[in-house]
Amino acid sequence: MNFSDPKFLYLFLPIVLGAYLILPKKAALVVLLIASTVFLGIAQPYYLVFFLSFIIANYFLGRLIQSCRDSENYWSKLIVWGAVGINAALLLLFKLAPQFLASTTNPLVVAEVIRIPDPDPDWIFPLAFSYISFQVISYHIDIFNEITDAENNLIRFANYILFFPKMMVGPIQRYADDQDALRDPAKSLGSASAGLRRFIVGLSKKVIIADTLAVYVNAVFSFDDPTLNTSHAWLMLFAMVVQLYVDFSGYSDMAIGLAEVLGFKYRENFNYPYLATSVAEFWRRWHVSLTSWFRDYIFTPLQFAIRKQKWIPKFLPILVVFFLTGFWHGKENHYLVWGSVLGIAISIESGKFGKYLKKLPVAIQRVWTLYWILGSWVLFRSPNVSFSIGYLKNLVGIQGTVPLRAFSESRPYPIFQNSFYFSIIVGVILMFPVSQIVQKHLEGKPRLLKFASYLRDFALLLLLIYSMGLIANQGPLPGIYEKF
């Protein structure tokens, strides 16, 4: 069940919001925990016991770390390293388990033993565990570093871990950012209405634009042979880039909006990354919560550790961070190569070339950035490295003979409907801060601003109705980042 699933939109969400907003604040966290447990239970009921054990274990580990920290106990460092190691090992286990089980056992037998209904190797990965494990690791480290104290209330801690708006695709929250809202959620009509507007924007981006492009992109990147003619290869590259941005940023909008309805204020997860003038800046603007997590908990400590080791290249922490970024997305080779390529690009920028790049015209800086980003997205989206190499050959016109494909196998490609081109154009517009520009022009014009707010709400109502119609017609499509 995702945010564009009819069961979520028509049943789950109205019941949860109704109960949460009507009941007194004392019952708010209980309602949220029940809702998040039901959300998880609908998706993966067989993991409920695991998550219950996971929450209880990390709750007591956090309390233990603080107890040893406050008493300046020698064991505090050992305990925090143990807590981080256990959670990292669990993430590693679940990342590698599907491949191991698929190669050494019969998934049908395993599925029968643990009562999992769909014997697909992907079922082994717990919902959102990549995000949850990073949250818990940061929680333990922040307690040890006295950035925050351990949570004493188990219900509040469970809500921090399982809060359903961020369960699917983040953002990855730090406990210090959530603790005030967990103690006293800021419920108000103003935040609820602002959050619902943000949710509708995200839903519209996902359903109207991303899902329209997804059927084409999924078809092309599922071909056995990546060979396309050059014009179609570039067109599908742009479609894929727009789909990826609108899909993921749309989900982030929905998560941030729902959190605001429920009294939680989340930081932005995207900051118009395609305005970046370097690859490093792009990643400071894209999936901000993940990038900042790697910066604070991997890059900075590693950079500090090697600062006096002159024989170790200064760009090593960058390569390590982006290799791990690739692995966080998946164990497959194309993710690892994708992360490594980005690490190489940012390492180049961190040297003398980076200083030279900053002196060049902004247009050239953006061409440099897009060269690396667009090429890396081909690696990211391809099923394997060989497919991505073949696709990149298409872009420079050195591909082989384009095979004839039956339309029944490639549909809807290569018949591009008007909605396809419309989605690309609107998606590209959304990559720029258009709303901020409009809002700036309306400053100091109260009557015009009031009229614009009415017009905005009317447009959002139409977008919601249209999105609901599309969902009813074609069904919900999974988001790209849901599988991570």
Measure the CA–CA gap between 266 and 459, rounded to whole angstroms: 25
Quote the pLDDT of residue 334. Answer: 94
pLDDT over threshold 50, residue 324: yes
Q: Does residue 95 or residue 197 have the better pLDDT?
A: 197
**What DSSP line would sit under 69-97, residue for residue?**
HHTT-THHHHHHHHHHHHHHHHHHHHHHH
What percent of the chain has pLDDT above 90? 61
What's the pLDDT band for 449 if we cut at 50, 70, 90?
Answer: confident
Quote the pLDDT of residue 187. Answer: 79
Mean of all residue pLDDT scores within the chain = 88
Quote the pLDDT of residue 444. Answer: 79
What percent of the chain has pLDDT above 70? 93
What's the pLDDT band for 447 if we cut at 50, 70, 90?
Answer: confident
pLDDT over threshold 50, residue 119: no
Quote the pLDDT of residue 127. Answer: 83
| Look-up of token digits 């980042």 | 481
What's the pLDDT band for 114 if we cut at 50, 70, 90?
Answer: very low
Rounded alpha-carbon distances, angstroms, from residue 287 to 239, 269, 276, 284: 20, 5, 14, 8
Residue 184: closest CA among 19, 18, 25: 25
Q: Does residue 113 or residue 228 have the better pLDDT?
A: 228
Q: Which run of H or of E encompasses 216?
A: helix 211-220
Residue 307: HSE in the Cβ half-sphere, 13 Å Cα cutoff: 6
186 touches 265 (CB < 8 A)? yes
pLDDT tens, residue by residue, 67-81: 888 777 677 788 899
Residue 199: HSE in the Cβ half-sphere, 13 Å Cα cutoff: 19
Residues with Cβ within 8 Å of residue 474, at least 6 apart in sequence: 211
Torsion, Cα 51 53 56 57, to 10 degrees, reads -110
Radius of gyration of the chain (CA): 23
Mean pLDDT over residues 93-119, rounded? 58
What's the pLDDT band for 149 if we cut at 50, 70, 90?
Answer: very high
pLDDT tens, residue by residue, 341-368: 999 999 999 989 989 999 999 999 999 9
pLDDT tens, residue by residue, 125-145: 788 899 999 999 999 999 999
Query: Looking at residue 120, what DSSP letter applies?
Result: -
40 touches 55 (CB < 8 A)? no
Residues with a known catalytic role: 329
Quote the pLDDT of residue 58. Answer: 96
pLDDT tens, residue by residue, 377-429: 999 999 999 999 999 999 998 877 777 777 777 788 888 899 999 999 999 99
Measure the CA–CA gap between 179 and 186, rounded to whole angstroms: 12
Measure the CA–CA gap between 427 and 237, rounded to whole angstroms: 13
Coil, helix or strand for 350?
A: coil
pLDDT over threshold 80, residue 15: yes
Residues with Cβ within 8 Å of residue 109, at least 6 apart in sequence: none
pLDDT tens, residue by residue, 182-232: 988 887 888 889 999 999 999 999 999 999 999 999 999 998 888 889 999
Residue 184: closest CA among 164, 162, 159, 161: 159
For the chain, what are the domain ranges? 6-184, 192-483
Quote the pLDDT of residue 448. Answer: 87
260 touches 266 (CB < 8 A)? yes
From 265-269, 338-342, 413-417, 455-459, the region with the lowest mean pLDDT: 413-417
